[in-house]
């Protein structure tokens, strides 16, 4: 059985076939570093780490890129509030995030790119979009004209009315008087006061959020990629807008063959988010639980299904992980392990993983195998594929 993945673009599970036969290009939207790393972040990045590892297990070469949105309204506002340099402020929280991910055994991508390091590519892309008639200048800003891209909405499937409502909820401004259409999105924001700015043919300023990812993808991975990932809340407006500007820039589509989105993590009945403050911090969990236990708890959830964190579930993951690690150590000490991999168990494991990365089912197979005893070599092998330290 070959790997099947759910593609948010079209809403169907499809056989995975990369653009290039044995190489997979994958881009996952990274954090905006202005606060602590919470469990919602960890769920996304642990999952895509496991996906990258499994693709390598299948024999693919994976080129995985992740960005860091280190120039953004949220960073500038928070840095100003705390009277700190915006660059140093972003670097501090980036380091904090990377430390948490390293502890959870999340591997660094092939390229981990700061948005500010790719501004020349963003300027190049915006200039081309203006020249081709997809973008326009207004009051020092540059906007993408969605009327020039009739497919806008093909990822989310939302109506224009739904998109306007969501834009208001997610930090956009559909009432901006300088737009031609309330869903046009900003590519370049003209210089404002003492905010950081860069020189560009269309005026001093800084990039909009969406153009950052499109430019970095084009710079490091080319015109088309295999997998574009992120949290489900990025479908609109972020990924929808990326599609519009990237396909308009290159003239090639689909910009990404597969869009994959992790579900939201809930806590106390609400989506876990910085704005609501209902956060479960990775750093706090690491004071009480092992990285393997936290990773087990996260991967025990199907990546596309919303779930709610509870302390009971975390404790249960600890018990399960402790038991497996105890069995592995005991069998290792007795030197009583089979040297050969259990082929039937591996076939079952692969069957689960090939079914749209059903990692919860794969974990159940690991537990059943562990309960049978005398199979620590196969258990360890499966767990290493999923990124556990064993």
The 10 Å Cβ neighbour count of residue 156 is: 18
Convert the pLDDT of each residue in 200-222 to its tens digit.
Answer: 999 999 999 999 999 999 999 99
Residue at token pair 């936290």: 294
* Residue 297 in domain: no
Convert the pLDDT of each residue in 18-53 to its tens digit.
Answer: 999 899 999 999 999 998 889 999 999 999 999 999
Rounded to whole angstroms, the Cα distance separating 182 from 245 reads 17
| CB-based contact 260:8 (threshold 8 Å) | yes
CATH, residue 152: 3.40.50.620
Q: Which of 111, 110, 33 lies closest to 69 in space, CA to CA?
A: 33
Tell me, letter by letter, the H, E, C secondary structure of 64-111: EEEEECCCCHHHHHHHHHCCCCHHHHHHHHHHHHHHHHHHCCCCCCCE
Alpha helices in 266-358 (DSSP H): 282-285, 291-299, 311-334, 343-354
User: Where does the pLDDT of residue 274 fall: very low under 50, low under 70, confident under 90, or very high at 90 and above?
Assistant: confident
User: Where does the pLDDT of residue 1 fall: very low under 50, low under 70, confident under 90, or very high at 90 and above?
Assistant: low
Q: What tokens appear for 3 in the block?
A: 């790997």
Residues 177 and 36 reside in one and the same domain: yes
* Residue 287 in domain: no
What pLDDT shows up at residue 331? Answer: 75
What pLDDT shows up at residue 328? Answer: 86
Starting at the edge strand found earlier in the chain, the sheet holding 270-271 runs: 270-271, 265-267, 307-308
Last residue of one domain, picked from the residues 209, 244, 266? 266
Residue 334 pLDDT > 90: no
Q: Which residue has the higher pLDDT, 47 or 1?
A: 47
What pLDDT shows up at residue 373? Answer: 76
* Angle of helix 209-221 versus helix 119-131 axis, rounded to 10: 100
**Domain of 28, in residue numbers:** 17-266
Residues 98 and 212 reside in one and the same domain: yes
* Residue 355 in domain: yes
User: What percent of the chain is modeled with pLDDT above 90?
Assistant: 87
Convert the pLDDT of each residue in 350-368 to its tens digit.
Answer: 999 999 999 999 999 999 9
Residue 276 pLDDT > 90: no
Alpha helices in the chain (DSSP H): 39-57, 73-81, 86-103, 119-131, 160-169, 209-221, 240-250, 282-285, 291-299, 311-334, 343-354, 359-372, 376-385
Residues 106 and 249 reside in one and the same domain: yes
* Residue 36 in domain: yes
Convert the pLDDT of each residue in 280-305 to its tens digit.
Answer: 999 999 999 999 999 999 999 999 99
What average pLDDT does range 116-144 have in this prediction?
Answer: 97
User: To the nearest whole number, what is the mean pLDDT of the chain?
Assistant: 94
What pLDDT shows up at residue 273? Answer: 79
* Residue 95 in domain: yes
Residues 135 and 198 reside in one and the same domain: yes
* Residue 277 in domain: no
User: Where does the pLDDT of residue 339 fall: very low under 50, low under 70, confident under 90, or very high at 90 and above?
Assistant: low
Residues 103 and 227 reside in one and the same domain: yes
Q: Is the peptide bond before 187 cis (omega within 30 degrees of 0)?
A: no
């Amino acid at each position: 059985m070959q790997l099947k993945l759910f593609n948010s673009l079209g809403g169907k599970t499809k056989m995975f076939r990369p653009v290039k036969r044995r190489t997979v290009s994958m881009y996952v939207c990274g954090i905006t570093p202005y606060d602590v790393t919470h469990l919602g972040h960890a769920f996304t990045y642990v999952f895509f780490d496991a996906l990258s590892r499994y693709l390598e297990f299948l024999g693919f070469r994976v080129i995985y890129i992740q960005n860091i949105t280190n120039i953004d309204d949220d960073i500038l506002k928070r840095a100003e509030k705390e009277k700190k340099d915006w660059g140093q402020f972003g670097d501090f929280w980036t380091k904090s995030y990377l430390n948490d991910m390293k502890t959870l055994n999340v591997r660094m991508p092939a390229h981990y790119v700061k948005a500010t390091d790719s501004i020349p590519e963003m300027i190049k892309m915006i200039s081309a979009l203006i020249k081709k008639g997809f973008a326009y200048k207004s009051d020092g800003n540059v906007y993408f004209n969605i009327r020039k891209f009739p497919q806008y909405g093909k990822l989310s499937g939302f109506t224009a009315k739904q998109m306007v409502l969501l834009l208001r909820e997610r930090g956009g401004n559909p009432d901006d008087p300088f737009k031609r259409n309330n869903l046009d999105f900003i590519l370049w924001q003209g210089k404002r006061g003492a905010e950081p700015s860069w020189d560009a043919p269309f005026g001093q300023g800084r990039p909009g959020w969406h153009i950052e990812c499109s430019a970095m993808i084009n710079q490091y991975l080319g015109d088309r990629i295999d997998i574009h990932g992120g949290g489900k809340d990025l479908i609109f407006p972020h990924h929808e807008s990326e599609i519009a500007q990237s396909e308009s820039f290159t003239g090639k589509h689909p910009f990404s063959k597969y869009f994959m989105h992790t579900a939201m993590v809930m806590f106390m009945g609400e989506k876990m988010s910085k704005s609501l403050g209902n956060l479960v911090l990775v750093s706090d969990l690491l004071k009480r639980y092992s990285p393997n236990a936290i990773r087990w708890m996260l991967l025990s959830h199907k990546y596309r299904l919303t779930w709610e964190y509870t302390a009971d579930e975390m404790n249960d993951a600890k018990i399960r992980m402790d038991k497996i690690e105890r069995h592995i150590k005991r069998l290792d000490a007795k030197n009583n392990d089979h040297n050969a991999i259990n082929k039937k168990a591996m076939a079952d494991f692969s069957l689960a993983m090939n079914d749209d990365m059903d990692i919860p089912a794969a974990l159940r197979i690991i537990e059943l195998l562990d309960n049978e005893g005398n199979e620590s070599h196969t258990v360890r092998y499966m767990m290493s594929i999923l990124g556990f330290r064993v």
